[in-house]
Structure 1
Amino acid sequence: MNKLRLFGFALLTLGITWGAHADEKRYISDDLITYIHSGPGNQFRIVGALNSGDEVTLKSVNSATNYGQIVDAKGRDAWIPLDQLSTSPSLRTQVPDLQQQVKTLTDKLSNIDNSWNQRTAEMQQKVASSDSIINGLKKENQDLKNQLIVAQKKVSAVNVQLDDKQRTIILQWFMYGGGVAGIGLILGLLLPHLVPRRKKKDRWMS
């Protein structure tokens, strides 16, 4: 009986394909619990169990029994059916990762939204400040224009007053000149009559 067992074990061992899947990462499928055996078949002793999503290292494959030799995280060297291994993590382990990714993306979007709102508020504040400055400059410019118009009117009024004064002075000079000329003419006419003439007899007698 022992010889038959040894012969069967030898046949099973011959069916092992070494190196074809050396040290490849595998994951326990979505079954809740998977039992691992001491050899490449379910007739071998159960040496433990693995949970869905546990990571193992595939050392070799027995193509005759479709079992794979694995090493788990605890360092146990055992055998497990290949159909209970997956090349990608199970949904049980992916869901928390996906949830974390969703949370991370949500936080990033929230930060982007907050940053965008802050930048928009800053831009609006800058635009409002610019509008205030522009309005202030426009008002100042209008005030300067009004002051210029008032100054021009004052200058025009002063020029009119100067013109009137100049005309008045010119007329006064004409009047003074005319008066002096008139007095001179009158004196010229009156002086010959005012100075006594010498008689011719006096001149003869001398």
Structure 2
Amino acid sequence: MPKLRLIGLTLLALSVSGLAHAEEKRYVSDELNTWVRSGPGDNYRLVGTVNAGEEVSLLQTNDGSQYGQVRDSSGRTAWIPLKELSTTPSLKTRVPDLENQVKTLTDKLNNIDATWNQRTADMQKKVAQSDGVINSLKDENQKLKNELIVAQKKVSVANLQLDDKQRTIIMQWFMYGGGVLGVGLIMGLVLPHLVPSRKRKDRWMN
């Protein structure tokens, strides 16, 4: 038995003679959970599995068997085929990162849309206010035009009435003047006849 143990230890030492001791990060293949073994080869017993996409630390490698010793997130160490490891993060890790990036970009786009919509609403409000002011000025201008037309018509009517009054006054003056002239003319014609007749009467009486 001691000899068998010595032989086993010797073989184990030879099998791990090509191991590298630099610890590196690796990622388990995404396809399926992977079995891990107690030693660097298919002839070692299975000691469990690691989850697909899980991040592990590569402790050492065996170039002969193409196995690597890893430590998982729980601190357990085991051996796994190197082909089951990858230097790039797994999709399990990258997908949430991509989802976060997409969410961040979506939030930014939504903020941009909200800001743009707010600016557009403000501009539309200002335009509507400007349109209201312009329409109010147009209405006021039209009102003033209408008032001017009415005032002009009133002035025309007043002028006509004034012309009629002036003509009436002139006619009245003509009538008064004609009457005075007529009375004067009559008196001028009558008085000379009245005065001499008295003189003749006086002479006859003497």
TM bucket, shorter chain: 0.5 to 0.7
Alpha-carbon displacement from aligned partner over 1:135-178 (angstroms, at most 9, x marks no partner): 77766755654454344323312221111212221232233234
Structure 2 residue 27 is the aligned partner of structure 1 residue 2: no
When normalised by structure 1's length, the TM-score is 0.62
2:173 aligned partner, one-letter code: W
Gaps of 5+ in 2: none
Count of residue pairs the alignment pairs up: 197
In 1: Cα distance, 2:25 partner to 2:180 partner:
134
Q: Return the letter of the residue paired with 2:5.
A: N
User: Does the CA contact (< 8 Å) of 1:56 and 1:73 recur in 2?
Assistant: yes
Q: How big is each residue's C-alpha offset from its partner over 1:52-92, in whole Å with a ceiling of 9 and x where there is no partner?
A: 12222233433343222322121112221111012345456
- Identify the residue that residue 16 of structure 1 maps to in structure 2: 19
Identity %: 64
Amino acid at match of 1:160: L
Whether the aligned pair in 1 keeps the contact of 2:25 and 2:58 (CA below 8 Å) is yes
Residue type of the partner of 1:164?
D
Name the structure 1 match of 2:51: 51
Q: Higher mean Cα deviation, 91-100 or 26-35? A: 91-100
Change (3 A) 1:198 1:92: closer
Q: Is the 8 Å Cα contact of residues 20 and 59 (structure 2) preserved in structure 1?
A: no
CA distance in 1, matches of 2:62, 2:32: 24
CA distance in 2, matches of 1:87, 1:173: 127
Q: Give the superposed CA RMSD.
A: 4.8
- Equivalents in 1 of 2:93, 2:157: separation in Å? 95
Shift, 1:16, TM fit: 1.5
Aligned letter for 1:13? Answer: V
CA distance in 2, matches of 1:115, 1:10: 68
Note closer, same or farther for the CA distance 1:5–1:140 as it changes in structure 2 (3 Å cut). Answer: same
- Indicate conservation of the 8 Å contact 2:39/2:78, yes or no: yes
Closer, same or farther in 2 for the Cα pair 1:196/1:90, shift >3 Å?
A: same
CA distance in 1, matches of 2:190, 2:61: 162
Q: Is the 8 A contact 1:15 1:63 kept in 2?
A: yes
The AA in structure 1 aligned to 2:161 is Q
**2:35 match: secondary structure:** strand
8 Å CA contact 1:35, 1:46 repeated in 2: yes
Please report the TM-score for the alignment, with normalisation by the length of structure 2: 0.62
1:80 correspondence with 2:80: yes
Question: 1:1-206 maps to which residues of 2 (within 5 A)?
Answer: 1-19=4-22, 23-91=23-91, 142=142, 145-187=145-187, 190-191=190-191, 194=194
